[in-house]
Amino acid sequence: MSATAVDRRIRSLRSPKAHVDPYSAHGFLLEDERRPDGKTERALTVFLAGAECPFTCSFCDLWRFTIDGSTPPGALTGQLDTVLQAIAGTVPDRLKLYNASNFFDQRAVPPEDLMGIAAHAESFAAVTVESHANTIGLRTLAFARQIPGRLEVAVGLETIHPVAAAQLNKRLDIARFDWAARFLSDNGVDLRVFVLLGAPYVPTEESIAWTVRTVEHAVECGASAVSIIPVRGGNGEMERLEALGEFTPPALSELEEALDSSLQFTSAVVTADLWDVDRLLACEHCRSARIERLRRLNVSGRAEQRIACTMCGAG
């Protein structure tokens, strides 16, 4: 994919990328996840190191965890093998492979690695990978056939706000997302969706409403899980847009309201992404209690009364 003037501007504002070893995973997590049927499963999330995503979305900060150039053949299977050895004796239900890029982009995941990854996944009942909607297709179905468990693909919808969606430099329109969702459903592949809170170009006073509308669209397209992700600054482009009045960093209270309003969509598991949640603007007297409430909601899916605070008036 050739770089555009917008791509070059976004990249020019980034800080220098730290060295990333393509033969060493960034880390892994073992955590419980709720599924639409009400059951809780144990998930192993592996953060793989590999090639950078070519789409250069304006809000993205995942490029920091990628290498320059293509992922070397064998690197991903080696990373996964090391992680599985580290958790030997533990048998999670789901394997989630997040490579800060697109699993079905051959630069990010070499074709010769797919069979090895599938072999490592043979003991899992389900496998989740991440992909831009534009890279979903025949390679997706081929991988789904290689693994014994059920495949789930995590796709960034981000926002259905018409102005913002066109300005994110994601090269994705709603029709293409809808096509990808139908393609996955028609072929027995589950869909997980990422939705932004605080997307640039969405008016601040409309941010929560558009986030909830986007969650609803994802659910209507058959998503089994939806994660609400607060937009983070720090990539240079977000700071430029903030200075122009086109981006306002979301607050913890907005994440709470967005999740509370989205729990109505009971056919999918809707959760708040709590990565770097401590960076969100919040009252220091009730921050911890409010974050813990979000953690509980993520697992239970049951509405809870908001945390009352005499210092900030929340509640």
Residue pair 97/117 in contact by the 8 Å Cβ criterion: yes
Distance in angstroms (rounded) separating the CA atoms of residues 40 and 27: 23
Task: Please tell me the predicted confidence (pLDDT) of residue 314.
Answer: 76
Low-confidence ranges of the chain (pLDDT < 50): none
Give the model's pLDDT for residue 315.
66
In this prediction, residue 311 carries a pLDDT of 85
Q: For 189-230, what is each residue's pLDDT tens digit?
A: 999 999 999 999 999 999 999 999 999 999 999 999 999 999
Per-residue pLDDT at 313: 77
d(CA 251, CA 231) in angstroms, rounded, equals 10
Please report which helix (H) or strand (E) contains residue 141, including its range. Answer: helix 138-146
State the Cα–Cα distance between residues 32 and 93, nearest whole angstrom: 10
Nearest-5° angle of CA 225, CA 95, CA 106?
A: 90
Residue 80 backbone dihedrals phi, psi, to 5 degrees: -65, -40
CATH architecture of 5-300: Alpha-Beta Barrel (3.20)
pLDDT at position 173: 93
Give the alpha-carbon dihedral of 281, 155, 294, 249, to 10 degrees: 10
